[in-house]
Structure 1
Amino acid sequence: MLKPRLIGIIALVLFIFVSINFYIGWNGWLYLSALLPLENPLPYAFIVAIVSFSYIIGRLLQPVTPLRKIGRVFKLIGSYWFAVMEYAVLLLPPANLIYWLLTRLDIPSYTAVLSVGSVVVVIMLTILLRGSWNAWSPIVRTYSITIAKSAGPRKSLRIGMASDIHLGTIVGKRHLARLADAMERMKPDLILLPGDVIDDDIGPYIDDYMSEVMKRLKAPLGVYAVLGNHEYIGGHIARFIAEMDAVGIRVLLDESVKIDDGFYVIGRKDLSAKRADPAGRQSVKELVAALDASLPLIMMDHQPSDLEQASLQGIDLSLSGHTHRGQMMPNHFFTRRLFELDWGFLQKGQLHAIVSSGFGTWGPPLRIGSRAEIIQLNVEFRP
């Protein structure tokens, strides 16, 4: 049974959600009724209501096998609608103010609505088009670092990294193939995937045979992954690990592997493990306790929330994702405040920390102020 406090929170969120969509729908009706000879608002209101709740409808339909494809269509529509909601909330209040000022200058209401509304529509379409291009056109971002340790006979290492792939109903085989193509061109010694490989449910990965593309990720020193918060949200941890193992990707669960007898790759469970995993989550200190600290220590930790401890415990390279760099500006202002490093590179003592904006997307397949990216990391070892 739901607690009264939780019921209150759900009711408040639902009220805000409905209010925002009513506000957007009302503005849309004013514009469309000025543009077209529309009189009955009921069909329009019905369409707005369906679109507003299409993401939820899609999530409800997806588990029903005969309706799964229909559910995916609704989820895609709803995902784009989330972006429309965010930017409508930013664009419509100043647009309403400008409309009011124009009518105070004796400009006819009809002219003011069409003029201001058309500008808003053009801006919104520009955002959606540019955001889609940013999301589906990944770039390779290169970092070069030096670790002041010996890695045995190895003097250098090229790492290919892709975080937050979010394979599911929206990010699928086509986008995954872009990652595989880029890695084949890069020819890394080692490939690392720091969490959120799938987007909650592993069903689409299996149903769409994404393993056919995933198995193309190959590197001489291996391919390693860790769990992100979305793997825990989906709850199919054992199945996910088995699917990754089947294509030659080892998922590290609070464990390390010594590679080429010269350096360690440490895979840390996501922060979600504290509440979602009966075995909990080890601290950085526990993870490195039995390791030879004279060798380079490379750690994957999905959320960049523990950089201070990583530095104090002798980690040389920390690789994370999770933040998406806010994915759609101005959300990056929030991620900057939440994390010491929400994107890019930071050095703390001997620690080199890199946080990627991610390869895939969550929710809207859009990126504004960020790009889908793959990391090429060139490491030199100089003791």
Structure 2
Amino acid sequence: MLARRGFLTLLGGLVMAGFGTSTYAVGVEPFQRPLVTSYALRPANWPAGLKLRVVVLADIHACEPWMPVHRIAGICDQASGLGGDIILLLGDYMSSLRLTGFVEPARWAEALARLKAPLGVHAIIGNHDWLNDPVARLAGHGPTLAHSALAGVGIPVYDNRALRLEKDGRSFWLAGLADQLEPTYPAPDGSGMIPGLDDLPGTLAGIDGDDPIILMAHEPDIFVDVPRRVSLTLAGHTHGGQVRFLGYSPLVPSRYGNRYAYGHIVEHDRHLIVSGGLGLSNLPIRIGSPPEVVVIDIG
């Protein structure tokens, strides 16, 4: 058995370790300069000769003090300097951390306007962008405040639509889904509420030919329904769980738990990359899941 002095020493060590971990989780890791996480892949249906660098930003969650405008601007400058052919924004620009300072949409959008890439900057909307716009959420349709802010700085938003783009004489499609969780609306048969406005079949129906497809989806859960026709699905939303140890996250906002929590997932020759994101959701902590900017070299 431990002597009293030994017990008190052990107890004090545990308390200090807990205090140190909490301090790090709240005051250090969330404020880190984003890591650059790089992936290189060539999906089975990707044409030879088409090389594309995609830079991805997800889950900014603009708020004081964790994600103020000057920090967003710095992240945008960092992302623009990574040599991407195209920059994709995967939603959740707004924050639901109610105890922090609110950042007006026009201000975070002005920071995002610093992003530059030859094939442009393209965006989708996330669930927190609806949750923080009660008027649009109650109406059951946009534009949300985030839609309007992005439009105001010339960044197109993809709500169940696709656009053909070209690089070096070769074409590919960029598609984006409306959010899968918000807003909710009554089922036509009165059986309850239906979440989200996403329409994967309708989005893909507007794509013709055999050119490859990159799909933007805020939540990764849609991946179970994505056909092999799609070369790469990109998602955010999970924040890597915000707390992650040895590749495991104890709490992931997904029906599939850790299956789609973070990183590069390959299932049945289909590729999904889930970003750990930049900001914070619900709890102001990050530990083992630092902010990140994702770079993907395809081809």
TM-score range, shorter chain: 0.7 to 0.9
Amino acid at match of 2:216: M
Q: Deviations over 1:54-111 (max 9, x none)?
A: xxxxxxxxxxxxxxxxxxxxxxxxxxxxxxxxxxxxxxxxxxxxxxx75xx5x27xx9
RMSD: 3.0
Cα distance change, pair 273–129 in 1 and its aligned pair in 2 (3 A): closer
CA contact (8 A) 1:316 1:350 kept: no
Superposition TM-score, scaled by structure 2 size: 0.79
1:155 alignment counterpart: 50
- Contact (CA 8 Å) 1:201, 1:234: kept in 2 or not? no
Matched, 1:229 2:144: no
The answer for the alignment partner of 1:197 in structure 2 is 93
Q: Which gives a bigger RCO, structure 1 or 2 (Cα 8 Å, sep 6+)? A: 2
SS in structure 2 at match of 1:265:
strand
Does the 8 A contact of 2:38 with 2:295 survive in 1?
yes
Gaps of 5+ in 1: 1-100
Q: Name the structure 2 match of 1:182.
A: 78
Aligned to 2:249: 332
Distance in 2 separating the partners of 1:282 and 1:209? 27
Cα distance, 1:285–1:150 mapped onto 2, change above 3 Å:
same
Q: How far, CA to CA, are the matches of 1:151 and 1:218 in structure 2?
A: 26
1:315 paired residue number:
230
- For 1:209, the equivalent position in structure 2 comes to 107
SS at match of 1:294: coil
Which one of 20, 23, 40 corresponds to residue 144 of structure 1?
40
Q: 1:359 to 1:282 in 2, by over 3 A?
A: closer
Other-structure match for 1:118: 12
Contact 1:165/1:196 (8 A) holds in 2: yes
Q: What is the percent sequence identity of the aligned residues?
A: 26
Provide the C-alpha distance between the structure 2 equivalents of 1:340 and 1:286, rounded to a whole number of angstroms: 26
Matched-pair contact (CA < 8 Å) for 2:59–2:91: yes
Shift of 1:215: 1.2
CA contact (8 A) 1:200 1:232 kept: no
- Going from structure 1 to structure 2, the CA distance change for 1:247 and 1:171 (only over 3 Å counts) comes to same
Q: 17, 21, 26: which is aligned to 1:127?
A: 21
Do the aligned partners of 1:205 and 1:211 also contact (CA within 8 Å) in 2?
A: no
- 1:240 is aligned to 2:146: yes
In the TM superposition, what is the alpha-carbon distance from 1:233 to its structure 2 partner?
Answer: 0.8
User: Please, which moves more after superposition, 369-378 or 302-311?
Assistant: 302-311
Q: CA deviation at 1:333?
A: 3.0
Aligned to 2:116: 218
Equivalent positions of 1:11-160 (< 5 A) are 107=4, 115-131=9-25, 132-137=27-32, 138-149=34-45, 155-160=50-55
Structure 2 residues not aligned, in runs of 5+: 137-142, 187-193
Post-superposition offset of 1:211: 3.4
Aligned to 1:315, what secondary structure does the other structure show? coil
Query: 1:320–1:279: structure 2 CA closer, same or farther, 3 Å change rule?
Result: closer
The answer to whether the 8 A contact 2:45-2:231 is kept is no
SS in 1 for 2:156: strand
What residue number does 2:265 align with? 346
**Which letter maps to 1:333?**
P
1:371 aligns with 2:290: yes
Say which one has the larger Rg.
1
Amino acid at match of 1:198: M
Whether the aligned pair in 1 keeps the contact of 2:277 and 2:293 (CA below 8 Å) is yes
Q: Which amino acid aligns with 2:21?
A: I
Alignment of 1:305 with 2:212, yes or no, is: no
Provide Cα deviations, 1:149-201, integer angstroms capped at 9, x if missing partner. Answer: 4669x621111101111112332123313321221220211111112122149
Distance 2:19 2:295 in 1: 33
Larger mean Cα displacement after TM superposition, 321-330 or 156-165? 321-330
1: CA distance between counterparts of 2:201 and 2:71? 37
* 1:275 has 2:184 as partner: yes
Greater fraction of residues in strand: 2
C-alpha deviation, 1:377, in angstroms: 0.6
Task: Name the SS of the counterpart of 2:42 in structure 1.
Answer: strand
Asked whether the 8 Å contact 1:244–1:250 carries over to 2, the reply is yes
How far apart, in 2, do the equivalents of 1:213 and 1:155 lie?
A: 31
Q: Could you say what secondary structure the match of 1:192 adopts? A: strand
Say how many residue pairs are matched.
272
1:253 aligns with 2:159: yes
> Post-superposition shift, 1:376?
0.4
In the superposition, relative to structure 1, how do residues 245 and 142 fare at CA in structure 2: closer, same or farther (>3 Å)? Answer: same
User: Quick one: structure 1 residues 180 and 143, their matched pair in 2 at CA, closer, same or farther if it must change by over 3 Å?
Assistant: same
* 8 Å Cα contact 2:179/2:198 also seen in 1: no
Deviation sequence 1:257-297 (CA, Å, 0-9, x none): 11127111111111123615999524422221131251111
Q: Aligned letter for 2:117?
A: A
Considering fraction of residues, name the structure with more helix: 1
* Cα gap change, 1:205 to 1:251, in 2 (>3 Å): farther
